[in-house]
Each structure stands twice: as C-alpha cells, then as structure tokens.
Structure 1
Amino acid sequence: MNEETHLLFDAPGPRGRRRIRIATLLSLLLLAGLLALAVRQFAVHGQLAASEWRMFTQWPIVNFLLGGIGQTLMVTAVAAAIAFPVGALVALARLSRNRPLRWVARGYVELFRAVPLLLLLYVFLFGLPRAGLTLPVFWQLVVPIVLSNAAVLAELFRAGVLALDRGQSEAAHSLGMTYWQAMTWVVIPQAVRRLVPVLVSQLVRLLKDSTLGYVVSYLELLHKAQVLGEYYHSVLPTYLVAAGCYVAINVSLSAVAGWLERRQGRRVARAARVRPARPR
C-alpha cells in the first residue's frame, strides 16, 4: 500500500484482510449464482436457442449493426472533439483573474452539471423548433452532449491545474510569458497529461450518452438494436449483442488509457533519472 492510500484509510490487519477475502469470495459466488439463474431462465424461455441467434450470421443484419456502431463512434468523436476544447476554455475562464468572466464560467458549469442530459435533449427537440431554430438530427444529439460534458470536463481541467505545483506557472512568468500564455503553453498541457485516465473515463461517458439518440430518432447502435429486435421479435439476443459491442468498445478505450498511463509513467521515470550537472 502506497503513501497516498495511507492518507485515505489505515491498512487492514490480518483479521481484516481475512474478512475482506471472505466477503469477496461470497460476493463472487452470489454473482455467479445470479448469472447461472439468469442463463437458466433464458434457456427455459428459449432465448438461448440457436434459431434466436442465427440471424446474426446474416450479412445484412451484421451490416445494419455495424452501421449503428459507426454512428455511435461518429457522435462520440465529434462530441469529444468539441467538448474537450470547450471544457478547457471554460476551465481557463474559471481560473481567470477577471471576476465577471469567472462568474459566467461558474454559472455555465453549475447550470449544465445540474440539468439532466435527457432534459437538454427535449429542449433541443421541442423547445428550439418553437423558437424557429431547428437543428439536424445529428446535432440535436451532439450539442446537448457537448454542453453537458464540457461542464464536467471544465471542472476536471480546473482540478488538474490547481493540483500542479505553482512553480510551473512562476517559471513561465519568469520567462516573460503572460498569464494566458503560461496557462496555454505550460500549465494546461501538464494538467492534461496527468488527467489522461480520467479524460478517457469521460470519453466512455460520452459514448454512453450517445445511447440517448432514440430521443431524437438518431439511429445509433442501441436504437438500431431496438428496431432490429422488435422487427424480428428477438429483443433480448439483439440487446445482448449490442451490450457486447459496447463492452468491447469500452474495453478498448480502457486499454488505450492504460497504455497512455504506462507511457507517461515511463517518461516521468526517465526524467527523474536525469540529473542536472553540478557546476564546478
């Protein structure tokens, strides 16, 4: 157990570790039992029959679901490409020395963190058309996702900046950089490198937010799975296949996050081994 963990709680003793192992084993047995019960119920009701899954060997159906995966990834990529820079800008505004700008940025963060994403989607679907502004279906889904996630990302960036040593910004100022130059070229890049695992987790949230595409009739993966399941009267297998696709995508993102974290750790370790030469 490292030093940071000791700050959160004391290390358990032999009896505590034994209780943790027993509780973990019981939890795993309970989950295995529930999984076995669910599989048995599926088998009893014929949901595991080969005829229910044969449809996924047909190329038109596979192509239909692959199109849904592509639409899901498109929404996630576009929303991330907009939300991450917007979140960084809002974080800079919250850290600004300009008081009105800080108030505006804080109001944005508090508003869009509090309003549920589903409610934002309804505003863009029903509210804006009444005001004479109708967006394409794709942007009716992407813009609310951006607004909601940019507020969360702004707080993540702000926390990352505040966690940095003040010596970084002071060194930038000593080189003649202005406040905004120091934040843009020195502070924010270092904060982003430290926040890589958290930012990838936020990317996973973006992916899951795309499942609300059914609200605006956007045919992402989950909506296509719903349409396919209802058309072939095979809802459960179709949803299980869609769930497997989401798990595979999220596992891939987690693997990328782990690779980036290990790479960053190796880079920090190499930098720590380099020692400046002592002046003679």
Structure 2
Amino acid sequence: MVFLVALAALLWWVYKALKDKGQLEWALWEPFFSGSEAWTTYIWPGLQNTLKAAALAMIIALPLGAVLGIARLSDHAWVRIPAATVVEFFRAIPVLVLMIFGLALFAEYTAVSSDDRPLYAVVTGLVLYNASVLAEIVRAGILALPKGQSEAAMAIGLRKGQLMRLILLPQAVTAMLPAIVSQLVVIVKDTALGGAVLTYAELLAAAGTMSGYYGGNIIQSLIVVSVIFIVLNFALTSFASWLERRLRQAKKSTGAVVGANDAQIAGTTGTGTGGTV
C-alpha cells in the first residue's frame, strides 16, 4: 500500500510537471495520432534497424556464448584457459567501448562502406560483450545440476560429449532460460547506444530526428519510443515464459505405473495362491 501511494504521488507529480511546462498540448502529440507520417517516415525505419541489429547479435551471440561456456568446462587446459581469457576480457570492457573500437576497426582495416559501418560496429560490440555474459550463464547453469547425473551417465559408459549433449544441456536450458532472456532484453536495449554515439539510425536516433522535424517535441518522441521498447521486451519475456512452461511440461513423466502383480524380476520365483509366479 505504501508503494502504491508513493507511485500514485510520483505519477501525479510527473503529470503536473508536464502540464505546467505545456508538454501535454495536443499540438505536440498530434503527429503520433493524426496520420501515419511520423510512423512510416521515422518510427518504423528506426524500429526495423533496431530489430535488425538485435536479431543479428542474438543469432551470433547465443551459439558463441554456448560454445565458450562449454569450453570453460573442458578437462583440457588448452581449451579451457583460452576460453576463460576471452570471456573475462570482453566481459570486463563496456559494450560502448567495443562498439567504438569496432567502428574504427572496420573503417581502418576493411572495405565495409561508411553506410554499413555503424551496423557492423553495433553488432560486433553486442556480440562480443553478450556472448561473454551468456558463456557465464551457460557455465553456471550446467554446474548447478546435481553431480549425481554426471556420475550416473559416466557409469553407464557415456563419453563427455554425449554427457553434455544428452544429459546436461537439455536440463540446463530450462534453468538458464530466464537469465538468457534477460540478456536478450539487454541486447535489444543496448542497440540504442549505436544511435546515440555511432549515428546508427535505430529507434532512439529516429526519435531525435523526428522531434526536430515536428518542432521540438522531444519528450513526446522519447515517450513513444519508450513505450515501443517496453512492448518489444515484454513480448520477448512473455514468449520466453511460455517456452519455459512448455519445456517443463514436456519433461514431466508420462509413463504408466506398473503394479506389483505385473512386475517380473528376472531369475526370481515365488509361490502364490494361484500357483508358481
């Protein structure tokens, strides 16, 4: 109740401040509700670029992070140590620094055009940083499983690769899913760094251009962009929750219970009222 009262007071203060400053005038909000020019010219292209960069980064970072996380669990030092070095190095560097470094790298040593460099730099920074974080999530998820499962798998003759592929990873995915989705949300949000620093024409950069065209309605543009980001990330987390429920349901046992009269133990005989069993 205290939180709800404080939240209501905060919302009222924001509303009052916006109203006193004239930020609730219809002329400032009209471009978003009258006609489609603002949406088709600014918001939709910016949203497309945001989704493009985020999708590319996810597609590359997820498998790369899984490989690095599994490599850190290797019994071979020549695999484990380089993987740990890569993860710790890129996890310690801010993602914005990686993006700026990537932009300079593509400009100096590649033939990538100046129009495509911001996209390449944003994706490179997101992949290097988030793959390192995802590697730690994968490693922690596998280590969190009971050791008895690994011991049982080795006792029946499974090799290390079979143990990882058939026993550990399928169980760890469900446990890791919330943390993985949280990192994917970070990827979507961090695309805005490319628009703020690298002139990548994503959703946040589109808000600045749009507000300049419509006479300085920057607060209104940022509010609209914020709502779009909230919807995107909520859809992503909702899908992950649905997928997690499906995975947990699929793991539930569906085998039938065998009664005592139906069970037979090899090499054992007993005498019952109906004869020899």
Query: How would you bin the TM-score normalised by the shorter chain?
Result: 0.7 to 0.9
> 2:140, 2:181 → 1: CA distance?
16
Change (3 A) 1:98 1:267: same
Alpha carbons 2:106, 2:121 under 8 Å: kept:
no
**Residue 171 of structure 1: CA displacement?**
4.5
CA distance in 1: counterparts of 2:24 and 2:143, whole angstroms: 53
CA distance in 1, matches of 2:72, 2:259: 40
1:61 aligns with 2:44: no
Which residue of 171, 177, 190 corresponds with 2:171?
Answer: 190
2:192 pairs with 1:211: yes
Change in Cα spacing, 1:237 to 1:274, as seen in structure 2 (3 Å) is: farther
Q: Which residue of 2 aligns with 1:21?
A: none
Q: Tell me the residue number matched to 1:123.
A: 101
Looking at structure 2, the residues matched to 199 and 89 of structure 1 have their Cα atoms a distance apart, in angstroms, of 14
Percent identity, please.
35
Greater shift, 82-91 or 224-233, is seen at: 224-233
> 34, 40, 44: which is aligned to 2:10?
34
Within-5 A mapping of 1:1-280: 25-56=1-32, 57-63=34-40, 64-127=42-105, 129-130=107-108, 132-133=109-110, 135=112, 136-137=116-117, 138-174=119-155, 176-214=157-195, 215-232=197-214, 233-268=216-251, 270-271=252-253, 275=257, 279-280=263-264
**Cα drift, residue 127 of structure 1:** 4.8
Greater helix proportion: 1
Paired with 1:73 and 1:123, the residues of 2 have a C-alpha distance of: 22
Q: Which of 165-174 and 255-264 deviates more?
A: 165-174
Shift of 1:267: 3.1
Question: What letter corresponds to residue 182 of structure 2 in structure 1?
Answer: S
Measure how far apart 1:168 and its partner are.
3.4
Per-residue CA deviations over 1:121-173 (Å, capped at 9, x if unaligned) read 1111235534x236432111101100000010001000111111234334544
Question: Does the aligned pair in 1 maintain the 2:102–2:120 contact within 8 Å?
Answer: no
CA distance in 2, matches of 1:191, 1:258: 16
Please give the root-mean-square deviation of Cα atoms over the aligned residues, in Å. 2.1
Instruction: Provide the C-alpha distance between the structure 2 equivalents of 1:122 and 1:134, rounded to a whole number of angstroms.
Output: 17
- Secondary structure (helix, strand or coil) at the match of 2:37 reads helix
Deviation digits for residues 229-267 of structure 1 (CA, Å, limit 9, x no counterpart): 123211000000000001111111121122123223333
Q: 1:276 to 1:198 in 2, by over 3 A?
A: farther
Bigger mean CA deviation after superposition, 153-162 or 197-206: 197-206
SS at match of 1:224: helix
CA distance in 1, matches of 2:102, 2:88: 19
Give me the whole-angstrom Cα distance separating, in 2, the residues matched to 1:99 and 1:266.
Answer: 38
| Structure 2: unaligned runs, 5 residues or longer | 265-277
> TM (normalized to structure 2)?
0.84
Change (3 A) 1:40 1:128: same
For 1:113 and 1:51, how far apart are their aligned partners in 2? 45
Q: Offset at 1:178? A: 2.6
Whichever of the two has the greater Rg, that structure is 2
Larger mean Cα displacement after TM superposition, 185-194 or 198-207: 185-194
Residue 71 of structure 1 aligns to a residue in which SS? Answer: helix
- TM-score when scaled to structure 1? 0.83
